[in-house]
Amino acid sequence: DAGVIQSPRHEVTEMGQEVTLRCKPISGHDYLFWYRQTMMRGLELLIYFNNNVPIDDSGMPEDRFSAKMPNASFSTLKIQPSEPRDSAVYFCASSLQGAGRDGYTFGSGTRLTVV
């Protein structure tokens, strides 16, 4: 398996623009997670899905953030409109049954810079 695949690897955008991050989880993994990593806040769980259904989005910072998982092999995280404080590395991760038991498999991340 190629692992968790994220695109793009780097994104530079202007404030106010829409940004869409993409993720393909490992086939057969029932859980998909979106994390954000910054120096100030460390790793933050934004949202997670189980069998394509959003289970907990309490970590999504604002209404500007939205996430979807239309099928088992694809998820998106959208920021609209983007702001400079959204600059961070965004990780997608998947897990077979439970991240708290099985652990995560992380993608390589998308480094977002909003100028």
Partner 1 sequence: AQSVTQLGSHVSVSEGALVLLRCNYSSSVPPYLFWYVQYPNQGLQLLLKYTTGATLVKGINGFEAEFKKSETSFHLTKPSAHMSDAAEYFCAVSDQGGYQKVTFGTGTKLQVIP
Which amino acid appears at position 30 of this protein? D
Among 16-24, 42-50, 67-75, 78-86, the segment contacting partner 1 (CB under 8 A): 42-50
**Contact indicator for 110, 10 with CB cutoff of 8 Å:** yes
Of 95, 81, 94, 87, nearest to 6 (Cα)? 94
Please state the closest distance from residue 16 (CB atom) to partner 1, in A: 27
Give the other-Cβ count within 10 Å of 67's Cβ.
Answer: 20
Sites for partner 1 among residues 73-102 (CB under 8 A) = 91, 93, 97-101
The contact set with partner 1 (CB under 8 A) reads 4, 31, 42-43, 45, 48, 55-56, 91, 93, 97-101, 103-109, 111
